[in-house]
Structure 1
Amino acid sequence: MTKVIAILFLFFIVCTGVAQDSVSIYNPDSDAGKDIELAVAKAKESNKHVLLQIGGNWCPWCIKLHKFYNDNPIIDSILKADYILVMVNYSRENKNEELLKNLGYPQRFGFPVLVVLDENGNRIHTQDSALLEKGTLYDLEKLKRFLLNWNRAAVSPGSYMDKK
């Protein structure tokens, strides 16, 4: 009986610790369409693109990616310079199905999935985030290359015209 009580006690301690460590980066109650609309207006004003990170608080890789942005000064500075970041929830509470339909069903790549919108709100790229991984983490160089290859300057025809 003592063993059973000890095991139950340890189980509750572990569960309590996990619950305290849970991170909420996605808001299931948020109006993602409105959030994107505001981000597009801000992107247009500031000559940036919009980066949607679609996923949920249930997704460990979604949390890892968001943490990677914040913990890595190189990625953080590229994001701040070139993108307006919007966290789009996908969960049992709110799947944002109509929005994802309009984005070409990016959930087909799994989660998290990244979608780049231009300053007018047009989808210009959908990125399978698994291609940005290395082992059990995200790869700095892959993520950096992705962000730099889809920023506004990189997709502007003027960046490739001969300057005479």
Structure 2
Amino acid sequence: MKRFLAIAALALLVSAGALAKEPAPYNPQADAKAQVAQVLAEARANHKPVLLFFGANWCEDCRALAHDLAAGRNAQLMDAHFNIAKIDVGNFDHNLDVVNRFGNPIAKGIPAAVIVSPDGKLLYSTRAGELSEARSMSADGVYDFFQKAIQRVQSAG
């Protein structure tokens, strides 16, 4: 049992270290309104919806989700279906005007995500904190989550 606990603790430290070495996914100095305007312009040009992530660099779940979306089939899914922007929310006190514009998806935790049409219409939101424990999701679980969100948006449109 002690050996198992030691191995589990080592694995946790290694994985936490790997996440800590990755670049911070959110830019606290970014102009969130300009980010949204730019990604909406891209969406109008390429006719793909916008996926906005709301989070912060201190948030382990936000970093874990960013990590899972950055490679493999998750990255391919994101590239194929979305124009993406990451909006920093600080300690739930930053860019709240942008958060509220999209229905306050961070109310139940971060990371949060919304899918928006190229004309700015809200199509989908994680209002119930669906991603707030992203670190416990596998890469396959993240893929399945976003695949289902895509299907919901496509069936509604």
TM range (shorter): 0.7 to 0.9
Change (3 A) 1:106 1:47: same
Change (3 A) 1:41 1:156: farther
TM-score, with structure 2 as normaliser: 0.74
Q: Which residue of 2 aligns with 1:54?
A: 54
Q: Which residue of 2 aligns with 1:130?
A: 131
C-alpha RMSD of matched pairs (Å): 2.8
The gaps in structure 2 that reach 5 residues or longer are 1-16
Q: Once the 2 structures are TM-superposed, how far is the Cα of residue 97 of structure 1 from its aligned partner?
A: 1.4
TM-score, with structure 1 as normaliser: 0.71
Count of residue correspondences = 137
Change (3 A) 1:156 1:99: same
What SS is found at the alignment partner of 1:78?
helix
Q: Which residue of 1 aligns with 2:10?
A: none
Partner Cα separation in structure 1 for residue 92 and residue 81 of structure 2:
31
What SS is found at the alignment partner of 1:40?
helix
Change (3 A) 1:93 1:117: closer
Change (3 A) 1:156 1:107: closer
Q: Which has the larger share of strand?
A: 1
Query: Which amino acid in the other structure matches residue 116 of structure 1?
Result: I
Percent of residue pairs bearing the same amino acid type? 20
Partner Cα separation in structure 1 for residue 140 and residue 22 of structure 2:
28
Check the 8 A contact 2:112/2:132 in 1, yes or no: no
The gaps in structure 1 that reach 5 residues or longer are 1-16, 158-164
